[in-house]
Amino acid sequence: MLDKLFGKKKTPKPAEVKEKPKKIKKSNKDLATERGEPYVAVLSMDVDPNNLNEGAFELDWNDKFIANLRRAGYQGKQDADLVDQWFQNVCRNVVLETYEQDQAMNMSRYTNERDLGNGRTEVS
């Protein structure tokens, strides 16, 4: 009876929530692959706490990087073999460069002195 007197109360419809399309964030690897660029990255590094000289790296790469390694002469059946050879070369070059710099610095530390007389000294 009250409904007729005051009118039927309408229940409001819940507002429809329009969801925005979620943007999927692309990884650096995906972006490089889309651009046709080689990609390689160190994902993680583990060090043996009992022997700090022992450790491992986890690497990630794309097909373009593998193609570049093959063109550069790296050989192997598995992609991981090529990346392992490349990474060993990189590490070897870092060690050699460090060694060469160390040797150059050590050579410059040694000087020869020769007394020329009259209070003069030759340093070479």
**DSSP secondary-structure letter at 78?**
S
Strands (E), 49-111: 51-61
pLDDT band at residue 2 under the 50/70/90 scheme? low
Distance CA 18, CA 37 (A): 37
Tens of pLDDT, residue by residue over 72-86, are 999 999 999 999 999
Phi, psi dihedrals of residue 116, rounded to the nearest 5°: -95, -5
92 has pLDDT over 90:
yes
Boundaries of every domain in the chain: 28-109
Q: Please, are residues 65 and 82 in contact by the beta-carbon 8 Å criterion? A: no
Distance CA 37, CA 63 (A): 9
pTM: 0.64
89 has pLDDT over 90:
yes
Say which range, 9-13, 16-20, 69-73, has the weakest mean pLDDT. Answer: 9-13
